[in-house]
Amino acid sequence: NAGVTQTPKFRILKIGQSMTLQCAQDMNHNYMYWYRQDPGMGLKLIYYSVGAGITDKGEVPNGYNVSRSTTEDFPLRLELAAPSQTSVYFCASSPGQGITEAFFGQGTRLTVV
Partner 1 sequence: LAKTTQPISMDSYEGQEVNITCSHNNIATNDYITWYQQFPSQGPRFIIQGYKTKVTNEVASLFIPADRKSSTLSLPRVSLSDTAVYYCLVGPRGGAAGNKLTFGGGTRVLVKP
Q: In terms of Cα–Cα distance, which of 59, 62, 87, 92 is closest to 77?
A: 62
DSSP-derived secondary structure letter, 39: T
- Write each residue from 15 to 54 as x if it is in contact with partner 1 (CB under 8 A), else as -, in one continuous string: ----------------x-x-x-----xxxxx--x-x----
Contact 53, 68 (CB under 8 A): yes
Nearest distance from C-beta of residue 16 to partner 1, angstroms: 28
The nearer residue to partner 1, 24 or 107, going by C-beta atoms, is 107
* Omega cis (within 30) before 8: yes
CA distance 72 to 23: 8
Residues 71-100 that bind partner 1 (CB under 8 A): 90, 92, 94, 96-100
The nearer residue to partner 1, 14 or 101, going by C-beta atoms, is 101
Give residues in contact with partner 1 (CB under 8 A): 4, 31, 33, 35, 41-45, 48, 50, 56, 58-59, 90, 92, 94, 96-107
